[in-house]
Amino acid sequence: MKRARVEERTFIGLMRGAFVFVAVGLIMILLTVIVKGLPALTWDMITQTPKGGFYLGKEGGILNAIVGSLYLAGGGTLLALILSLPITLYLAAYARGPRQSRWVPIVRLALDVLWGVPSIVYGAFGFIVMLALGLRTSLLAGILVLTLLELPIMVRAMDEVIRTMPIELAEASYALGATRLETALNVIVRQALPGIVTAILLAFGRGIGDAASVLFTAGYTDRLPDSLLRPAASLPLAVFFQLGTAIPEVQQRAYASALILTAIVLMVSLGSRWLARRLSRNVVK
């Protein structure tokens, strides 16, 4: 009996320690970004594009990267949504039951693989497709690669929500004579709407924060993106490039850029919680 108590005490101590360690570490990340970024954050940073000598510490801002990132992640999220809704609904409404397609396990495995494919590999793949088609770095290429990156994230998040739905809900719909399509659109989508919104914003957050995939495909430019066929800047790369210089003022701006990026991601995350809570009022519990 004594040994059991000692073991229990030890593990409770270890757990408390681990918990404090994790909490402190995670809070420290946020604090580091705020403490380092806030002093360098100016109005110009978010309203100006880089002017001459910006990368030597002269004036300007990173509006190009902010707008570029919003376009890239927005476009990628929209295309990923158009593709992932039919996939999710197929898996939820058509792929259940005895007449399930032989493809379903393979599709699930492929989605798991794609979820785990590093973004740099998507970037490299996008790059060779661009080479094959004779395209150059552009906003469009960046959006397409982010679509690939976000698709498995979105499908997995939606699928997880739909799996928690009571099966009786769909069965009730079938019992009333509804077809699979009608059940998918009128019951499943409606019931899973809060989860779908969360999935969309989750994918958007991952898209806007990813640097490795857009490095190859979207390029970087000091101008605001004005065409799908021209390069576009992005926030993660703005952070990365500015941090890589030797000039202290520019490094300061990297911290400010990091703060802007973090603020956008946090706003999206909080917004999605709020939206999901509002929408879940229409959900059958």
Segment 41 to 100, residues that bind another protein, using CB under 8 A: 83, 86-87, 89-91, 94-95
Q: Does 284 bind another protein (CB under 8 A)?
A: no
Nearer CB in complex with another protein: 52/233? 233
Distance from C-alpha of 237 to C-alpha of 209, rounded to nearest angstrom: 9
Q: Does 190 bind another protein (CB under 8 A)?
A: no
Instruction: Considering only the stretches 47-55, 189-197, 202-210, 277-285, report the one whose residues sit in contact with another protein under the rule CB under 8 A.
Output: 202-210
Nearest to 285 by CA among 202, 194, 196, 173: 194
Extended strands (E) in 93-206: none
Nearer CB in complex with another protein: 67/212? 212
Distance from C-alpha of 285 to C-alpha of 282, rounded to nearest angstrom: 9
Q: Does 280 bind another protein (CB under 8 A)?
A: no
- State the DSSP code for 185: I
Q: Does 209 bind another protein (CB under 8 A)?
A: yes
Task: List the one residue from 151, 154, 233, 256 that touches another protein (CB under 8 A).
Answer: 151
Q: Does 205 bind another protein (CB under 8 A)?
A: yes
Q: Does 218 bind another protein (CB under 8 A)?
A: no
Q: Hunting for tokens 């469009």 — which residue is that?
A: 140
Binding-residue total with another protein (CB under 8 A): 91
Q: Does 159 bind another protein (CB under 8 A)?
A: no
Q: Which residues, other chains included, contact 77 with Cβ-Cβ below 8 Å and sequence gap of 6+? A: 146, 150, 154, 200, 203, 204, 207
Q: Does 28 bind another protein (CB under 8 A)?
A: yes
Q: Does 128 bind another protein (CB under 8 A)?
A: yes
Q: At what angle do helices 248-279 and 235-243 cross, to 10 degrees?
A: 160
CA atoms within 13 A on the CB side of 178: 17
Q: Does 182 bind another protein (CB under 8 A)?
A: yes
Q: Are 187 and 168 in contact (CB under 8 A)?
A: no
Q: Are 228 and 139 in contact (CB under 8 A)?
A: yes
**Shortest approach of another protein to residue 92 CB, angstroms?**
10
Instruction: Considering only the stretches 15-23, 59-67, 222-230, 277-285, report the one whose residues sit in contact with another protein under the rule CB under 8 A.
Output: 15-23
Nearer CB in complex with another protein: 67/92? 92
CA atoms within 13 A on the CB side of 202: 16
Task: List the one residue from 42, 47, 179, 186 that touches another protein (CB under 8 A).
Answer: 179
